[in-house]
């Protein structure tokens, strides 16, 4: 009996020992949170940047590990939708506002207002921050940006007797007339091909046109919409736009400018270096001016942001990492490495100051400086729409019909609105 009692005591003590060992082991080796971070087509160019940034974050947060996954641009939408459906979504995702807001409407992203401390949103450019909100609630952190500038051929301007680049669409029409009449060339090229650039659609907004109402119905069949349609139709009918504007995309505009056949090109500042490589003689006579706008002064901007899926198992760590990637120092470093613009207010200020202090003063630096300075008037001009391509098709095809005399401006405007509302 003593032996049995001793055995029981030994067994109980042994089990308690194992339990205590397990508890101590758990206390000594907590499970390290692992974050999965997806970006859009940033490898391999920015491998060193992210290796350094992630390394710094993990050093400052020894309890967190980050796994970076880069997804091809065209694959991101399908991949993130599949991951959300399978409940295997990453913890932090790089998306553009157009697609991010569609999923925000389905309550897919973490409500940042509930997790950010007071004032943390103030570190971002206000209009850019606003682009990451839906119904007054924030769902994304702004990251890197691009805004177009006007690159112009000083030689053609001089021949046409033009002393300064146009800043408004009204001035652009006058320049288009003057360049054509004095040089036989075109002032600029813009495309009306529905599958291509959004430039014409953005121009309508800059001219004061509301594209859709809060219910998503056409809101452009108005006096302002008619004036905007008439603007483009008249430029084409008077011969101040190349005929291939109806059949060729933005790439044609690039080729025409580099060949010296047009006097202006709307593009990101870094494209100045591309012109220098492809057409050095044109680059020598090229200068940079702010983006053309309308009476409201609005300028377009393209935004990339970071969102956090609501399903993340580590929301605190995910928010901490997203804030780290978008802080002033990291945004400034990425902007300089990628020739983009930061969305962090302090980083924008430092970016402009660095360019101002540069002794180089190259055309690229001037373009970057103009691009950064116009951020204060920049915003996403086209509202996020699930069927944006359908809206663009309705407007562009009817504009083309009016340009070719197949419809009056009034008929084209009404037909575009009817087409969109009946989609």
81-91 per-position pLDDT tens digit: 999 999 999 99
CATH number at residue 415: 3.40.190.10
Residues 401, 363: one domain? no
Residues 190, 257: one domain? yes
Residues 151, 194: one domain? yes
Residues 274, 215: one domain? yes
Q: What is the pLDDT, as a whole number, of residue 183? A: 98
Residues 137, 157: one domain? no
Q: What is the pLDDT, as a whole number, of residue 18? A: 35
Residue 138 Cα distances to 105, 207, 266, 274, 315, angstroms: 12, 28, 31, 37, 15
Residues 363, 399: one domain? no
Residues 291, 307: one domain? no
Residues 274, 416: one domain? yes
Please state the rounded mean pLDDT for residues 52-75.
96
Residue 275 Cα distances to 179, 254, 262, angstroms: 21, 9, 14
Residues 278, 386: one domain? yes
Owning domain of residue 92: 34-145+301-375
Residue 269 Cα distances to 145, 190, 365, 375, angstroms: 12, 18, 8, 13
Instruction: Decide if 322 is inside a domain.
Output: yes
1 has a pLDDT exceeding 60:
no
pTM for the whole structure: 0.87
Please state the rounded mean pLDDT for residues 132-161.
95
Residues 77, 38: one domain? yes
Instruction: Decide if 19 is inside a domain.
Output: no
Q: What is the pLDDT, as a whole number, of residue 31? A: 62
pLDDT in tens, 65-106: 999 999 999 999 999 999 999 999 999 999 998 889 889 989
395 has a pLDDT exceeding 50:
yes
Q: What is the pLDDT, as a whole number, of residue 118? A: 81
Least confident of 169-173, 197-201, 235-239, 386-390: 386-390
Task: Provide the number of structural domains found in the chain.
Answer: 2
Alpha-carbon span 388 to 95, nearest angstrom: 17
Residues 283, 164: one domain? yes
Q: What is the pLDDT, as a whole number, of residue 13? A: 40
């Amino acid at each position: 009996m003593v032996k049995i009692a001793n055995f029981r005591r030994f067994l109980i003590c042994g089990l308690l020992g194992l339990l205590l060992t397990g508890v101590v082991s758990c206390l000594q080796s907590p499970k390290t949170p692992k974050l999965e971070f997806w970006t859009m087509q940033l490898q391999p160019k920015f491998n060193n940047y992210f290796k350094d940034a992630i390394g710094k974050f993990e050093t400052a947060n020894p309890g967190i590990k980050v796994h970076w996954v880069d997804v091809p641009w065209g694959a991101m939408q399908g991949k993130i939708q599949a991951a959300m459906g399978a409940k295997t979504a990453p913890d932090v995702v790089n998306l553009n506002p157009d697609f991010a807001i569609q999923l925000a409407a389905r309550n897919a992203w973490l409500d940042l207002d509930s997790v950010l401390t007071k004032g943390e949103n103030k570190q971002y450019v206000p209009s850019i921050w606003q682009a990451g909100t839906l119904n007054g609630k924030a769902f994304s952190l702004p990251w890197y940006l691009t805004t177009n500038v006007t690159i112009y051929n000083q030689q053609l301007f001089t021949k046409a007797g033009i002393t300064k680049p146009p800043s408004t669409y009204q001035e652009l029409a006058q320049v288009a007339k003057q360049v054509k009449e004095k040089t036989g060339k075109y002032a600029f090229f813009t495309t009306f091909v529905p599958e291509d650039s959004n430039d014409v659609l953005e121009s309508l907004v800059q001219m004061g046109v509301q594209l859709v109402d809060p219910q998503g119905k056409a809101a452009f069949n108005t006096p302002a919409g008619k004036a905007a349609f008439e603007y483009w139709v008249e430029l084409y009918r008077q011969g101040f736009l190349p005929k291939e504007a109806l059949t060729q995309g933005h790439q044609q505009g690039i080729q025409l400018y580099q060949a010296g056949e047009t006097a202006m090109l709307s593009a990101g500042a870094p494209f100045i270096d591309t012109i220098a490589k492809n057409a050095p003689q044109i680059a020598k006579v090229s200068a940079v001016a702010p983006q053309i706008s309308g009476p409201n002064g609005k300028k377009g901007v393209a935004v990339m942001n970071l969102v956090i899926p609501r399903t993340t198992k580590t929301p605190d760590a995910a928010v901490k990492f997203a804030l780290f990637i978008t802080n002033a120092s990291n945004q400034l470093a990425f902007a300089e490495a990628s020739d983009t613009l930061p969305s962090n207010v302090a980083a924008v200020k430092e970016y402009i100051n660095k360019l101002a202090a540069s002794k180089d003063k190259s055309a690229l630096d001037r373009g970057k400086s103009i691009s950064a300075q116009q951020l204060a008037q920049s915003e996403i001009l086209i509202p996020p729409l699930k069927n944006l391509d359908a809206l663009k098709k309705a407007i562009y095809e009817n504009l083309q019909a009016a340009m070719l005399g197949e419809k009056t401006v009034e008929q084209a405007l009404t037909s575009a609105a009817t087409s969109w509302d009946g989609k």
